[in-house]
Amino acid sequence: MIKNLKDRLSPFFLFFQNRISFIIFCLIFYSCSSGSKHEAEIEKIPVDISFDRFDLKFYNQHPKVIPILKNEYPFLFPKQFSDSLWIKRQKDSLQLLLQDEVNDVFSDTSQLEDKVSHLFKHIKFYFPKTKIPRVITLTNNVDYQIKIIYSDSLLLLSFDTFLGANNSLYDGIPGYIRKELDKKYILTQIVDKFGTYTIPPPEDRTFLAQLIYEGKKLYVQDLVQTHASEAIKISYLENELTWAKENELYVWKYFIEKQILYNTDPEWVQRFIDPSPFSKFYLQLDNQTPGGIGKWMGWQIIKSYIDLYPKTTIKELIKLPAQKLFNLSKYKPNR
């Protein structure tokens, strides 16, 4: 009896299944076609970046290259320092060790150059007035506070700050800093510096304005790093990202209960936005939290706004005052 009923209904189910499959196929095809059309337009933008390897021109070279390099790169040689200092640096054993590691990790930069070129195609698409920068690579004493410098038409990239989190040369550097000393974060760092250069700082000093500012910078990551994961965009480890997603509601409740959104005390920025090993709720769970959770929250506010107003251009978004954007976003985490 059951078998007969199944046989009788099979044609219906087959038709229904095929119908659903066809609809799903159409949706996927449309989505892919739409995305491909967008990407195709971006790919037509003429950008071809090649790295200027200053690090190779400076280290393991004869001192006679110093005057030549000073003439070619005057902005890298402060006038108050004599040639003898640069010659000494050329021969410094630690500097040469760093350069050896750089040579090993970045022996072939062609793929990275392609990625940076692809990145600036996207940046140029959304920010048409952007100048394609001259990218100069350096070795700079593992100064992780200035891994990348971006200014108008110049991008300085310190290769010795991207050798990999487990590199023994980074022993002694705190873990929350070491995790970002990896070449997988180079594009993220470039976009972050570009965002800082492009997006005006908040007009007021409220914690909310700081959240929105950081959220806008992360939204730029969404636009131009189309194939990167959320973890890469915010420089989180996967477990840190998981914590942020699972505790979004509770973090927001904490912000509301403590009434800090309109507080101007810089302490809140230090606790929840500035780089740190963890965010400071002053609770037992603090060491389980990722640092800079405020950036994540600001990002979610921006996403909530874009969900409601998807036609907003990045130029319009950047100019939108924090309070107005927040009100329009109707942000309310539900998890």
pLDDT tens digits, residue range 171-180?
999 999 999 9
- Same domain (yes/no): 68, 136: yes
Distance CA 165, CA 117 (A): 25
- Same domain (yes/no): 255, 281: yes
Position 87 scores a pLDDT of 96
Which of 179, 198, 217 is a domain's end point? 198
- Shortest CA distance to 158 belongs to which of 130, 186, 134? 186
Position 38 scores a pLDDT of 77
Which of 172, 198, 224 is a domain's end point? 198
What number of residues does the chain have?
335
When pLDDT is cut at 50, 70 and 90, the band that residue 8 belongs to is: very low
When pLDDT is cut at 50, 70 and 90, the band that residue 334 belongs to is: confident
Which of 180, 198, 216 is a domain's end point? 198
- Contact by Cβ (8 Å): 230, 303: no
Which range of residues forms the domain containing residue 117?
Answer: 54-198
Residue 4 belongs to some domain of the structure = no
Total of domains in the chain: 2
Position 294 scores a pLDDT of 98
Residue 126 belongs to some domain of the structure = yes
Position 39 scores a pLDDT of 87
Higher pLDDT, 12 or 329: 329
Distance CA 116, CA 280 (A): 35
DSSP 136: E
* Residue-averaged pLDDT of the chain: 90
- Same domain (yes/no): 212, 323: yes
- Same domain (yes/no): 77, 194: yes
